Structure formats: structure tokens, C-alpha cells
Copies of this chain bind each other. A is one copy, B any other.
Amino acid sequence: MHKLSEQNYIHQISIDCVIFGYHDKQLKVLIPKLHFNGDFWALPSGFVNQDEDIDNAAERILQDRTGIKNIYLEQFYIFGKANRNSVDFINRLIDLNIDLVGKNINIQKEYDWFTTRFISVGYYALVDFAKVIPQKTELDESIEWYNINDLPPMIMDHNEIILKALETLRKNLDEKLTAFNLLPETFTMKEIQELYETIFDRTFVRTNFQKKILEFNVLERLEKKFTGAKNKAPYLYKLK
């Protein structure tokens, strides 16, 4: 595992990733808890190497945290307020000698650039929940999925970043048909509708919803799903 301080990163630019998954009819976000004294949750984040495209940096970070490749991800906003680094968080970084992976690391010496102001590029990712194996970094105590309606209190503006990501996800959902990235390879019409209802936090009329989805003309109908009840079994679909 690389130390942050050993990399040739661009200073003062970070990448924050909002990783959305869908499970048990809940929209979830993958969030690490930091390895500090006290309760500190922060988005999966990282930095950009001098010779690396920012999109590639985001892909690398996402792959590191989820264990999967070829993730759907999209840059959605830059967070650039001058005061977005909370004083409390920076003080903790500076004051604490954090026991990282069993070694005492002097955060002030080795991570000095880490405590300056950062402008953060927000990316959101849509992943198949079942395929993700959440990965900790040296800074993390744990990493867990949290329901979007029941997020922990997060450092800096990270709660705001999640809200902006959700807003963008909703806005782009129809236009870019991205929602299917949250589902397994095959799914029923009911499962699509439940996903949309979860993301938009509202209900849709079944017939209208089905008509609208089919009009996008992106789905291929497969065999019926095996449910035991032959006549009522729903069709499975997949993306064309």
C-alpha cells in the first residue's frame, strides 16, 4: 500500500467519490469511517498524479475501493469554497499522531500538504451492489454501505457533496438511462420501477411507468423469470 506522501500528486486538488449501490429496495452510499480518535466519516477520496488524467484518477480510486473495474462514473461538480476544510478536521489531522496500520506516523511531517485547502472534483459512480467488495485504505477504520436516508455526519462538505450527487443522478436518469447500472444483468419491470421509486423517493403508476421505460427502446425482453407460479411469472429484461 502506497503512502500518500510518497506519491507525486497535484497539490490542493482532491477527488471525492459518491458510490451509489442499490440493495433491499434502498439506495446506498459506500462510506469509510476514518481511523482517528472520534467519529469521522468521509467520502472515498484520493488525489491526481502529475501524469494522470483526472478521469483515470477517479477510476483508479473507485477500483481500489470497490474491487471492480469498468464502473459507470461521471464527474458532476467542483467543490471550491475557500473555507470548505473544516478547522476541526484539520486540527485533528495536525494534532494527532495517528496509529496507521500499526505504525506511528507523524501527520504534521508526512502529510503537511494534506492539510492545506483542497478544491475537490466530485464524481458519482453507479455499481452493482452484489459485485462490490468494499476495500479499506490505510486511513480507514471501516467501510460500509449506508442508506441515503440515514447517512452518518461527515467531515467538511461531504454531506452536501452526496446531496448534489443525488440531485445530478435524478436529473440525468432519464436522459442517460444510467439507472440500469445499479441493477444486476437481468431484471423484471417491477424491479426497475422499484429502483426508480427509491431514487426519486416517490411512487409511479405502473402502466405509465412501464410505457415510458419501454419507449426508451433500450431493453430486450428475455424468458419469464422462474417463480414457481407459471402464469403470473414476470418477464426478465436486459439492456440491449
Task: Decide yes or no whether A68 CB sits under 8 A from chain B.
Answer: no
Task: Decide yes or no whether A10 CB sits under 8 A from chain B.
Answer: yes
Stretch at the interface among A37-45, A75-83, A143-151, A223-231: A75-83
Cβ–Cβ contact A78 & B11, under 8 A: no
Cβ–Cβ contact B50 & A78, under 8 A: no
Number of copies of chain A assembled together = 2
Cβ–Cβ contact B48 & A119, under 8 A: yes
Cβ–Cβ contact B75 & A78, under 8 A: yes
Task: Decide yes or no whether A6 CB sits under 8 A from chain B.
Answer: no
Task: Decide yes or no whether A88 CB sits under 8 A from chain B.
Answer: no
The answer, among B11, B51, B77, B81, for a CB contact under 8 Å with A82, is B51
Task: Decide yes or no whether A125 CB sits under 8 A from chain B.
Answer: no
- Closest chain B residue, CB of each to CB of A55: B80
Beta-carbon contacts of A89-121 to B below 8 Å, as 1s and 0s? 000000000000000000000000000010101
Give A112-171 interface residues, CB cut-off 8 Å to B: 117, 119, 121
> Which residues of A are interface residues toward B (Cβ below 8 A)?
10-13, 48, 50-55, 75, 77-78, 80-82, 117, 119, 121
Which 3 pairs of residues, A with B, have the shortest CB-CB distance? A54-B80, A53-B81, A53-B82
